[in-house]
């Protein structure tokens, strides 16, 4: 075996020797640059499709353009309020939020919960000028408020509205605001889902909420949600988190809802909604049982029945089984107070709505003419 190994090794040496003799000698080139073992690095000029004249990638260029176009339209809001504790001691409470400039008159859009119970509200513009603000109007059920400052028109840069009906999951979005008091902060992400529901007030649910994964934190409330065309598509209002900071699930009120509410807040200070005169319902397997009617209200006038009160001596017995059960409103089935309120919210005083009622195991329809505007907390159910 050893002899075989030596023989094969010898043959390889002989072959290499022969090849070396056959190959011609390599002559050195005069004035030739030294060879390098590393490939030449490409120059920036050789990649014109990746960068613009400022050296920005397309994504970076969009980020910068959105921020520069919208930055002056975003304001920081600071509040000062007084809170009473369980020992009835009054303590000062400070808060921070964000907002968007609506017009040259100084109207600012923000969340209602940002300025709720605040005794003093201050707005800081992009140029670090701060102005006291006063409340113009609020819609607590949709968490929308409009405040106003007396600033010079040339200091105010109204934000441009987009169209939230054209949003798609996966579209890029930007959140601007004042998280944790860090002024003029921008984060980006995408639309994670559409038509989420969010309960703002008890028994009042907004169905068209935008879900995003852009980082928003305390202080972002009331700030704008922007698309890649630098247009307002929503207002950041809440996060889903167990630690009160961003966990990648944020929610924004769509601009088309805001667009419908804001003019009424500016003109009337509140949203004028129709009043049906049903102050409380109980959820049953068949629908919404009427628990309490507003005395001489629209529903009672139309013939809707509530619980029957039976007096037996000094005692009064309430027979709830005698009350009507609302099965549908405007031919739309209703299984919760939120669904009922969602339809009423879109109606105005004087409009007629049709209730489908279950009474004595029979379905009947009752037309109700809605009454005047309700209080600012909405229909009380």
Catalytic residue check, 268: no
Active-site residue identified among 98, 107, 143, 279: 143
Check if the beta carbon of residue 55 is closer than 8 Å to that of residue 44. yes
* DSSP per residue, 34-77: PP-SSPPPPPGGG-TTT--TTS--HHHHHHHHHHHHHGGGEEEE
Query: Is residue 280 annotated as part of the catalytic site, yes or no?
Result: no
Ramachandran bin of 61, using left for φ above 0, alpha for ψ from -120 to 50, beta for the remaining angles: alpha
Q: Of the residues 78, 221, 246, 279, which is catalytic?
A: 221
Residue 5: half-sphere exposure toward Cβ, Cα within 13 Å: 2
- For 92, the 3-state DSSP assignment is strand
Residues in the chain: 381
CB of 257 closer than 8 Å to CB of 235: no
Chain centre to alpha carbon of residue 331: 30
Residue carrying the six token digits 């008159």: 105
Query: Which residue from 112, 109, 108, 107 is spatially nearest to 95, judged by alpha carbons?
Result: 112
Contact indicator for 366, 303 with CB cutoff of 8 Å? yes
d(CA 333, CA 328): 4
Contact criterion met (CB below 8 Å) for 295 and 304: no
Distance CA 103, CA 68 (A): 18
Name the helix (H) or strand (E) containing 2.
helix 2-22
Catalytic residue (one of 103, 113, 116, 336): 113
The C-alpha atoms of residue 339 and residue 61 are separated, in whole angstroms, by 44
Tokens read off for 174: 């930007």
59 as an active site residue: the answer is no
Backbone angles phi, psi at 44, to 5 degrees: -60, -35
Q: Give the DSSP H or E segment for 18.
A: helix 2-22
From residue 190, how far is each of 99, 109, 172, 234, 277 by CA, in Å?
21, 23, 4, 13, 42
Residue 341 is classified by DSSP as H
Report, as residue numbers or ranges, the catalytic residues. Answer: 113, 143, 221
């Amino acid at each position: 075996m050893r002899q075989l190994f030596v023989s094969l090794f010898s043959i390889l040496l002989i072959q290499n020797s022969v090849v070396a003799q056959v190959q011609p000698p390599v002559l050195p080139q005069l004035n030739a640059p030294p060879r390098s073992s590393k490939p030449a690095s490409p120059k920036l000029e050789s990649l014109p499709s990746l960068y613009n004249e400022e050296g920005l990638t397309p994504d970076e260029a969009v980020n910068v353009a959105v921020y520069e176009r919208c930055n002056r339209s975003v304001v920081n809001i600071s509040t000062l309020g007084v809170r009473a504790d369980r020992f009835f001691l009054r303590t000062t409470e400070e808060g921070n939020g964000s907002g968007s400039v609506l017009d040259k008159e100084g109207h600012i859009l923000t969340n209602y919960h940002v300025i709720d119970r605040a005794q003093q509200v201050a707005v800081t513009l992009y140029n670090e000028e701060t102005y006291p603000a006063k409340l113009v109007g609020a819609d607590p059920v949709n968490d929308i408020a409009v405040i106003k400052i007396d600033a010079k028109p040339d200091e105010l840069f109204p934000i441009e509205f987009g169209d939230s009906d054209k949003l798609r999951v996966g579209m890029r979005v930007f959140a601007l605001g004042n998280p944790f008091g860090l002024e003029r902060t921008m984060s980006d992400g995408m639309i994670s889902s559409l038509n989420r529901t969010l309960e703002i007030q008890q028994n009042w649910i907004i169905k068209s909420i935008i879900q995003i994964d852009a980082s928003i934190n305390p202080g972002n409330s009331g700030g704008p949600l922007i698309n890649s065309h630098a247009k307002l598509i929503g207002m950041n209002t809440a996060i889903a988190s167990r630690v009160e900071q961003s966990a990648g699930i944020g929610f924004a009120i769509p601009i088309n809802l805001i667009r419908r509410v804001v003019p009424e807040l500016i003109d009337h200070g509140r949203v004028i909604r129709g009043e049906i005169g049903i102050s409380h319902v109980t959820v049953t397997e068949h629908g919404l049982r009427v628990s309490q009617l507003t005395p001489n209200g629209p529903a009672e006038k139309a013939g809707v029945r509530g619980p029957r009160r039976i007096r037996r001596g000094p005692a009064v017995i309430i027979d709830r089984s005698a009350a009507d059960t609302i099965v549908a409103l405007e031919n739309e089935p209703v299984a919760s107070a939120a669904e009922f309120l969602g339809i009423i919210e879109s109606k105005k005083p004087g409009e007629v709505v049709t209730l489908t009622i279950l009474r004595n195991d029979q379905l009947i329809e009752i037309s109700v003419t809605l009454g005047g505007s309700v209080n600012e907390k909405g229909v009380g159910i």
